[in-house]
């Protein structure tokens, strides 16, 4: 094998921070991780409280690839609640009963129309930032839902959609495999680039240095995305009360992690360089 072939065979890695814009502590961690660590991508919550601050920081970080973190559960919508009454609770927020909401998305045309309007609004809000859309994923991987994915594909195409996270982790339960295979087929059929593997689901909120080093040592061939939830402080929201955000930031900044990445894989700047395949 030539030196060039050996280099090509190295695993490729995308390191992403989710929930960009949720809080200034998250934005601070993204900036630190990008300037001084291995972080090269972030997924933006366009309706979150610190979204404007996140966009401001992203404009100062040309090495950071930014995507849309579509929020349809456990978060704030982009549209006024009165325009999407079937999607939000009495407080005007998306709930966390994703199974119940997923059934409504699939069976109720009125709900699907509201869902399409909200997804459109979030894409438009991202476009208004002027940032290049590197990728799209969804909070709590709600884009696994076939209706949500259909709307992302149809609406996103008008907003420069080129890549989507495929949430397929080696340790995922077998019952999810048909859904993931269908999602992979649909992405390939539509010419949308995606990762081959993802890491961060089974250790969500606990991606500390030891865990990250273990993942890097076991990276399979192809393109892997490793995503984290770093922040400059802990206990940002009730739903993430147990997350160790500061440990995840420390992992991104760790010299040991940086050295292991350099030794073991090729670090990519987001999804931008991936080629889409067509089934």
Residue 167 and residue 141: Cα distance in Å, rounded? 7
Asked if 226 contacts 18 with a C-beta cutoff of 8 angstroms, the reply is no
Handedness of CA 174, 176, 182, 185 (dihedral sign): negative
Whole-number pLDDT of residue 172: 85
Whole-number pLDDT of residue 171: 85
Asked if 183 contacts 149 with a C-beta cutoff of 8 angstroms, the reply is yes
**Which among 10, 65, 44, 18 has a CA at the least distance from the CA of 201?**
18
Handedness of CA 202, 49, 110, 85 (dihedral sign): positive
The vertex-84 CA angle with 79 and 88, nearest 5°, equals 95
Run means of pLDDT, 10 residues per run, the chain, 279 residues: 52 98 98 98 98 98 98 97 97 95 96 98 98 97 96 97 96 89 97 98 97 98 98 94 97 98 98 76
Whole-number pLDDT of residue 1: 36
Domains annotated for the chain, with CATH where assigned, are 3-66+134-268 (3.20.20.370)
Whole-number pLDDT of residue 7: 45
Q: What φ, ψ does residue 15 adopt, rounded to 5°?
A: -110, 120
Whole-number pLDDT of residue 277: 65
């Amino acid at each position: 094998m030539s030196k060039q072939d050996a280099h090509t065979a190295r695993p490729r890695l995308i390191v992403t921070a989710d929930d960009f814009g949720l809080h200034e502590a998250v934005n601070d961690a993204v900036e630190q991780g990008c300037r001084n660590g291995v972080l090269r991508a972030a997924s933006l919550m366009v309706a979150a409280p610190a979204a404007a601050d996140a966009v401001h920081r992203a404009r100062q970080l040309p090495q950071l690839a930014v995507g849309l973190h579509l929020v349809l559960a456990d978060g704030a919508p982009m549209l006024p609640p009165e325009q999407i009454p079937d999607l939000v609770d009495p407080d005007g927020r998306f709930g966390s009963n994703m199974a119940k909401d997923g059934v409504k998305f699939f069976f109720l045309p009125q709900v699907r129309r509201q869902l399409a309007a909200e997804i459109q609004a979030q894409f438009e809000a991202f476009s208004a930032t002027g940032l290049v859309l590197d990728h799209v994923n969804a909070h709590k991987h709600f884009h696994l839902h076939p209706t949500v994915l259909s709307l992302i594909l149809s609406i996103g195409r008008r907003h420069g959609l080129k890549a989507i996270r495929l949430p397929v982790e080696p340790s995922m339960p077998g019952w999810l495999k048909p859904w993931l295979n269908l999602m992979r087929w649909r992405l390939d059929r539509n010419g949308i680039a995606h990762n081959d593997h993802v890491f961060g689901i089974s250790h969500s909120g606990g991606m500390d240095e030891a865990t990250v080093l273990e993942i890097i040592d076991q990276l399979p061939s192809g393109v892997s995305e490793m995503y984290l939830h770093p922040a400059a402080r802990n206990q940002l929201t009730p739903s993430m009360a147990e997350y160790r955000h500061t440990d995840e930031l420390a992992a991104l900044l760790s010299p040991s992690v940086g050295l292991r990445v350099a030794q073991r894989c090729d670090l990519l700047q987001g999804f931008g360089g991936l080629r889409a395949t067509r089934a």
